[in-house]
Structure 1
Amino acid sequence: MQKPMSDTAVLVIDMMNTYRHPDAEKLAPHVAEIIDPLAQLVAEARERDDVELIYVNDNYGDFSAQFDDIVSAALDGERPELVKPIVPHKGCRLMTKVRHSAFYATSLAYLLNQLKPERVILTGQVTEQCILYTALDAYVRHFPVVVPPDAVAHIDPELSDAALTMMRSNMSADIISAADCLG
């Protein structure tokens, strides 16, 4: 039996992270601030038939890595407490990416065109990088974008604020809390 079309797609972007990179010390505290609202949003998405949960993660230059390898590395990384609450469950849609946008060199656009969601919720990291570029790519593909600021983490607070403003002003993104995303 084919699953019905989803009203909403929740993207979890780049949260499977080892926190072994130059910006990790700046990023990790901000991820710690979003992990609870993000984990609650992910849990709610898992329970609903009208929501599609899609994990998209950087492969960090390892083109032989399977998604399970990326998850294992993150769980063995410096901050497993930032990974465990949102580890993908069996049956989740998983894809790897190679650059900032979750659309770049992935099948995400094709998948979303098949699912026909009424909106795409962007969560994860980094607000002023991967979330911003994914929002732009979603917008130019005519997918309505929602960004919960309490479920996206940043490195630089000023750039994050600017990115959220750009997404709202230039991409018509709804900027609402994670608790309000799924209604």
Structure 2
Amino acid sequence: MGKMALVVVDMLNSYDHPDAELLQDSVARIVTPLAHLIGRACRHPEVDVIYVNDNQGDFAATRSDIEALALKGARPDLVEPVLSPPECPFLVKVRHSAFYGTSLEYLLRRRGIETLVLAGQVTEQCILYSALDAYVRHFAIRVPRDCVAHIHADLGDAALRMMERNMSARIVSGERCLED
């Protein structure tokens, strides 16, 4: 398996955008399992936890700015349990993939990461595109089904099937995704 990283994607969200209402219900179901996964990963000696979050159009935004905006948004209850621990790297992205325009690949290579666990939102968008970018960079991929949120359930399910079939991703539970 090699060294692993849990990449938490776009969980610091203000929920004041189109499709936010549809997304909130799905996020509400994953917040607790994801918070547990983050806690376990932070304690695991062979797992790095990395946050990658959209800058929401503010190209000067820092981690603190993004967290504050999310906490002041429509659903702070969906943000608070999954705030980024200060010791975890935090990368800002501007598009769907966690790799696009970020130093994620460089960070992963420097840390000897071979397997990525992708969690967060949105399954049929940012998680799918990040998985594809991880796959073409020869990383092994795991996606905990109970730790990714969708806007449209059918598209989320289709995205999970695509990641499994086309990118050799292991679709697992949050409880099992850190196991060999």
Does the pair score TM above 0.5? yes
What are the Cα deviations for residues 139-160 of structure 1, in whole angstroms up to 9, with x where unaligned?
Answer: 0000000001100000001111
Runs of 4+ in 1 over 3 A off after TM superposition: none
TM-score of the superposed pair, with normalisation by structure 2: 0.97
Distance 1:68 1:15 in 2: 14
The yes-or-no answer on 1:89 pairing with 2:85 is yes
Tell me which amino acid in the other structure corresponds to 1:111.
L
3-state secondary structure, aligned to 1:119? strand
Counterpart for residue 51 of structure 1: 47
Partners of 1:91 and 1:178 lie apart in 2 by 22
Match of 2:30 in 1: 34
Q: Matched residues in 2 for 1:154 and 1:25: separation?
A: 11
Shifted more, 148-157 versus 115-124: the winner is: 115-124
AA partner of residue 104 (structure 1): Y
Partner-residue secondary structure (3-state), 1:146: strand
Cα distance in 2 between the residues matched to 1:74 and 1:52: 23
Output the amino acid matched with 1:172.
Answer: S
2:164 corresponds in structure 1 to 168
Q: Quick check: 134-143 or 76-85, which moved more?
A: 76-85
Q: What's the offset of the Cα at 1:7?
A: 1.5
Equivalent residue of 1:179, what SS?
A: coil
- Which stretch shifts more, 114-123 or 101-110? 114-123
TM-score, normalised to structure 1, is: 0.95
Secondary structure at the aligned position of 1:10 is classed as strand
- In the TM superposition, residue 118 of structure 1 has moved relative to its aligned partner by 2.8
Instruction: Determine the structure 2 residue equivalent to 1:3.
Output: none
Q: CA-atom RMSD, angstroms?
A: 0.9
Cα distance in 2 between the residues matched to 1:161 and 1:181: 18
The residue number in structure 1 matching 2:95 is 99
- TM superposition shift of 1:116: 1.8
Per-residue Cα deviation, 1:7-29 (whole angstroms, up to 9, x for no partner)? 11000000000000011100000
Stretch of structure 1 that moved more, 132-141 or 70-79: 70-79
Q: CA deviation at 1:176?
A: 0.3
Choose the corresponding residue for 1:77, options 66, 73, 78: 73
Picking from 161, 177, 181, the partner of 2:177 is: 181
2:153 maps to which residue? 157
Partner of 2:126: 130
**1:175 CA displacement:** 0.2
Unaligned runs of 5+ in 1: 1-5
- Name the aligned partner's letter for residue 116 of structure 2: V
Deviations 1:51-84 (A, max 9, x none): 1000000001100111110001101111011011
Point out the more displaced range, 110-119 or 142-151. 110-119
- Structure 2 stretches lacking a partner, 5+ long: none
